[in-house]
Chain A
Amino acid sequence: MVAARRLCTSLVAAAAALTLAAPSFADTVSLPVSVNGLGGTRQFNVEDITGQTLTAFNLGTGGSQPFRVHVTDSSFLAGVGQANYSVSATMSNLYLKTGSSHDYAVKVPSSALSINFGGNPLAAKGLSLLDLPKLTLSGALSTCASLSPTLRSILGLSVLGVVLDSSNTAVTQLCTALGLAGGPVTGIVDGALQNLTPAVSSLLDLPTALSGATGGTFSNPSYGVGTVGEGDPAATATPATSVGLMTGTQNLTSGLVTALTSALTGALSGLPVVAGSGTPAQTTVTSVINGLTASGSSAIDSALANVLSTLSAADQLSLINSVLSVTPLAPVLADIKGVNGQYFSFPVLKATPQTPVPGTYDGTMTVTFVQS
């Protein structure tokens, strides 16, 4: 008998219409507005396992149904300790559907429903970071007399390394700084913007580390506005049980730094230090000049920067690419100019009703995403 009843009982959570007497934006007049500085976006959705919008759970006579929570970051700016979020769910009781309304006296309590997780409750994909790297600039210049013919030509030096144009004070100063021994060239420069796709092996090394797939039983029901339980005359003020689905914690772990460094090294590999407009390169002429004139620069660095400023674009590229090389520094948070990624939690809603009256039951699950 019980089995028969269970077979006849279909627990279907269906739509709950909601109308509120509140001011509507539809009444306002829309004017073209241009707004700058909005930043990236973070959108959250509840979907079925194929990625379609989830509108109903069909739990049959007491089964389970998997679904997924999906958070999408687009051009999101990173910030450790600033962009944590949590996703949790509450559940109403399931009420016997009678026509277009419900019999609130006949219900499956929310405590008969729970959220569980499988072996891989959390995942991420489509991860990419826009990185403005810092690069270590290094190289060496010999004395003006022993520079290569190409460099002598660029700098306007004779075969013996004498400055041919005595009014060219920048080159004169460089040769003076190089003296009889030459010297190293060093600096820290801004690299060109790179779109990196790091290979992250741990959920905890994601730009938004994932955890919090705790699940649990919906011990206390929700009677919130917009839920089927809203109309329950037996509603109480007891807070609904909130079940954890996912937590995202903004971070930059050493594992992520390693993955980013590897991706950055790969992205820069094979690129010239500088290149003409529109051609990929590791950095720009302007960044090199700025890096060489930064505080703490040596006399050779400063003199080389002055010389570069006087050269033609082609000579700048030639000199820099022949003398200097760059090595990426380990990425830091300030280098990250945008994060794209999709984050998932894969809960399973399970119902274990105790001999309910045969019929179709409706309930509402509220999934709340909170930035904190």
Chain B
Amino acid sequence: MRFRALISVVVLLALPFGGAPAARAAGTGGIEISPYPGVVDGHQVTAFHVSVPAHGHATVRYVMRNTTGHPVAGKVYAAAATRGTGGQFAIGGPGSAPKVHFAGGDVTLPANAVRPGTFTIDGPVDTGTFSAVVVEVHQGAVNERAATLIYLTSAHGTFRRLLTIVLVAVPEVLLALAVLMVLRRRRRTTGPS
């Protein structure tokens, strides 16, 4: 019984280490970039959630599409994203996310075009940091930018957290088992002869 309770506690403690919540893609000027697949288990997952190895890189699939029935043009690029104290994000310009290798630039899409692609992210990255894939359309004096966030996680960081959980949980489970065994032994020795 006590063993079960202990397991429950360990599981609850592990939950906060889960991934960041999913978000939606963003587009402007008829151009939209979203992760692929865009729907998983009935949920639209359109922000990028990427675990990047410390020594290596992660490859990310995406789809760029023209949501209109006419040709559209714009610029796409990877950019740095930083979260302010109020939770709002500031998005950098082209070249501000050097670890994200997104073959962007000027793009023209035919009507209703769907164009799959991949980009890579070099490690190491810090868990809890962000980048973004940006669609930018110049409309005269107005620049419209739509940013799809990339939630970054260090694969090394994930391993370290799992290791921490194991190192904390295993001794506690062993301790609980030991206590259980001692209690059983006492019951046997003090029980009716």
**Contact surface of A with B, Cβ cutoff 8 Å:** 13-18, 20, 22-26, 30, 33-35, 37-46, 53-57, 74, 76-77, 79, 81-86, 88, 224-227, 239, 242, 244, 362-372
Contact = CB atoms under 8 A, between A and B. Distances in A.
A34 B25 CA distance: 20
Interface residues of B, number: 62
B113 A30 contact: yes
Interface of B: 21-30, 32, 34, 36-39, 42-44, 46-47, 63, 65, 67, 75, 77, 81, 83, 87-91, 93-95, 103-110, 113-116, 132, 136, 138-149
Contact of A84 (B23, B38, B144): B23
Contact of A24 (B27, B29, B43, B105): B105
A86 B24 contact: no
Contact of B148 (A54, A56, A84, A371): A371
22 contacts: A13-B140, A13-B141, A22-B77, A22-B106, A33-B114, A38-B34, A38-B39, A39-B34, A39-B38, A42-B26, A43-B30, A56-B141, A77-B42, A77-B44, A82-B21, A364-B141, A364-B143, A368-B91, A369-B28, A369-B146, A370-B91, A371-B47
Nearest to A17: B138
Contacts of B104: 22-23
Contacts of A367: 142-145
B78 to A, nearest CB: 11
Nearest to B46: A39
Nearest to B93: A225
A357 to B, nearest CB: 20
Nearest to A226: B143
B39 A55 contact: no
Contacts of A13: 140-141
A161 B133 CA distance: 71
A82 B24 contact: yes
Nearest to A75: B44
Given A15-B141, A43-B28, A372 B39 contact: no
B64 to A, nearest CB: 8
A22 B44 contact: no
